[in-house]
Structure 1
Amino acid sequence: MSLDRRHLLQFAAASLATLAFGAAAQSYPTKPVTLMVPYPPGGLSDNIARRVNVPLAAAMGQPVIIENLGGASGSIAAQKVLHAPSDGYMVFQGSPNELILAPLAIASIKYKPEDFRQIHRIALAPMAILARAGLPAKNADELAAYAAKAAKDGKPMTYASVGVGSFYHLLGAKMSKDLGVPMTHVPYKGAADAIRDLVGDQVDIFITPYGLAQTEFIKQGKMKAVAVLTPQPQRLLPGVPSTADSKALKNFQYEIGTGYFVKRDTPEPIVQAVHKGLQKVLTDTQLKAGLFAMGQEVSPAQSLADADASYKQEIATFQAIAKSIGLVAQ
């Protein structure tokens, strides 16, 4: 076979494959879609997914199956999405934790935040400093005093996270830096495990989003909320003081969003189809009620351009926090 003919056949084959893929993109979805959750069952991320998958399935006309895959600050699940075809059949439910911070903290992670495209944010999560029930602090200033005393006594205060490089790890490290006292990081695979040990008095604090399950533990006296991380009172913790009201942690104010992502090179018709489905999901009254009850603030509607722009802004913001604490990949 001549070289020219071989090239012609290769070009024809590539063209046919492109046309077939384009046709598949236009008809998407034709089979179940996997919603990849980067933490074990039982945590806040998993609970959000189980509020979303049913109305999303109805909107897209195909089942949406949840897959939980925890570990390595959510990066194992993120890497699995990147290794899958760019066909929209694996959608990542994530946050800056897994996509922005994990690559900064874990040297073995080779992906970049820009490898993903945010299709739509689903919710914003107010955050709080939760503590074991016996920790002697009722607000941020008392917590600062306790941390200073614990460090002086040679038993630094411990803080939980969902993994090295996670937002919760960074917040604990930043708190330690802001207070000028050493604190000990205790990483877990997911929030459910961290909460379990907080209730069991195995760790001192957990700076985290929260929901009804956590507020129920607080009501039962199994743990406490020391401070919220927004200036205004929070709906599920109306009587808990804000860090903004303290002297020691006055500027310690944060929140984190949950969004839906695909690989950056996913064809535009598929991205538009998922975006359209998520837009319908946000009008679902049961979803709104479920997220509201969990303490989540439901996201306003976003265009694809708005979703991508907000993600790029998060990349800049979270990378700046990592730089401020000197986070080094290990």
Structure 2
Amino acid sequence: MLTTSSIRLRVLRGAALIGLVAGTTLAMAQSAPNQFSIVVPYAPGGPADSAARLIRPVFESTLGKTTIVENLAGAGGSIGATKVLRAIDGSQILMGSPNEVILAPLGLSAVKYKADDFRLVGTVGELPYVLIARPDFPAGTVDELIAYAKANAARSLSYGSMGSGSINHLATEAFGAKTGVRLNHIPYKGAAPLVQDVASGQIDFAFTPLAGPVQGLIETGRVKFFGLTSAARSARWADWPTVNESKVLKDFVYSIWVGPVVSKSTPEPVVQRINAALAEALRQPDVRKGLAAAGFLGTATTSLLDAQKLYTSEADKFRSIADAIKLQPQ
């Protein structure tokens, strides 16, 4: 015979079970958007676009949802980043880098988001930068370049960047602060005219991505090469030293990581699914081969904890440089 107490207990258990089922259903709904979009904040053809298209099929099969690549260029990548930021369900994934999520808020007054609004889910690798100079520059190593600049301090060294607040702008200012070299900043609207002016001797030097025609210019001697700005030598360019190998300049690392970035408000189950899809993609030999061909160093990160540490470290590094040079958003 059921007593009043036993009836009340069964009702409470039933309510708890309904709550558990409802909570589980909600969590499953949150972790399964109807469609995933990998947003590339640039026009087709670049390294980020290549990475997105390489991992898309694996993401689609692993996530179990239609996954597309969407190119959304403009405003230093901030247009694509803004769209991803608004998708708090994780359905929009930015194939991001420091340029869009960390540097754009520092250098562009029109950008209203902050680096802290995003979360890095992992990386597919990093794109190295190189230090190059005009072909007739009277120095052959990083240490000689610094020594020459100090011996001729009456004349500032001219350097190019891809605009105020860009990574090569901040990296070069950090170079000047570490070495005491006087600098004259000349901003450009893109990498192509910047590299062209280094090669023609219009400016002294630049830190620039190792992309496009840069490798060929180095190998043919049309620009003088001083070093990679990665933490260690690359197996792909094993004979090329890093800037860190100099006696004067240490711990100078300014490679660009690239990887999936989502809104910080994205539910944890969704973040974990995207992270698992990334790990699965990076296990595929054809994906790794394609990333290497696109210029990525094999330094991928699939640990959520390591990704967060990297993101925080990079944001702090660039904010510190921006504060030191009193960078004003344009």
TM-score (norm 2): 0.76
Deviations 1:17-66 (A, max 9, x none): x99986653433x33x3322334444443443343334434433424214
Question: Is 1:48–2:61 an aligned residue pair?
Answer: no
| Equivalent in 50, 55, 64 of residue 68 of structure 2 | 64
Query: Quick one: distance in 2 between partners of 1:168 and 1:268?
Result: 34
Query: Quick one: distance in 1 between partners of 2:220 and 2:147?
Result: 26
Question: Is 1:27–2:32 an aligned residue pair?
Answer: yes
Distance 1:290 1:298, change over 3 A: farther
TM-score (norm 1): 0.76
SS in 1 for 2:37: strand
Question: Counterparts in 2 of 1:147-226, with a 5 A limit?
Answer: 147=149, 152-153=154-155, 156-161=157-162, 163-188=163-188, 191=191, 194-195=194-195, 198=198, 203-211=203-211, 214-226=214-226
Distance 1:92 1:221, change over 3 A: same
User: Computing the radius of gyration over CA atoms, which structure comes out larger, 1 or 2?
Assistant: 2
Query: Quick one: distance in 1 between partners of 2:211 and 2:165?
Result: 23
| Equivalent in 17, 38, 45 of residue 41 of structure 2 | 38
Partner of 1:298: 299
Distance 1:68 1:185, change over 3 A: farther
SS in 1 for 2:123: strand
Query: Quick one: distance in 2 between partners of 1:241 and 1:57?
Result: 39
Q: CA deviation at 1:67?
A: 0.7
SS in 2 for 1:172: helix
Deviations 1:256-314 (A, max 9, x none): 42221111112333323222211211111122123334241231431x34433432333
Question: Is 1:75–2:83 an aligned residue pair?
Answer: no
Q: CA deviation at 1:224?
A: 3.8
Query: Quick one: distance in 2 between partners of 1:221 and 1:168?
Result: 22
Partner of 1:260: 260
Q: How many residues align?
A: 306
Q: CA deviation at 1:112?
A: 1.4
Deviations 1:125-167 (A, max 9, x none): 44321334454442213333554577634x7412223x32222
C-alpha contact 1:170 1:321 (8 A) present in aligned 2: yes
C-alpha contact 2:119 2:264 (8 A) present in aligned 1: yes
Deviations 1:179-226 (A, max 9, x none): 434323344455456445555655543324425853234224443422
Partner of 1:123: 125
C-alpha contact 2:43 2:71 (8 A) present in aligned 1: no
Distance 1:297 1:65, change over 3 A: same
Deviations 1:56-81 (A, max 9, x none): 34433424214141434x33332232
Distance 1:245 1:85, change over 3 A: closer
Percent of pairs identical after alignment?
33
One-letter code of the match for 2:82?
Q
SS in 2 for 1:257: strand
Q: CA deviation at 1:231?
A: 6.2
Partner of 1:8: none
SS in 1 for 2:79: helix
| Cα RMSD for the two superposed structures | 3.4
Partner of 2:104: 102
Question: Counterparts in 2 of 1:227-306, with a 5 A limit?
Answer: 227-230=227-230, 232-293=232-293, 294-302=295-303, 304-306=304-306
Question: Is 1:312–2:315 an aligned residue pair?
Answer: no
Question: Is 1:322–2:327 an aligned residue pair?
Answer: no
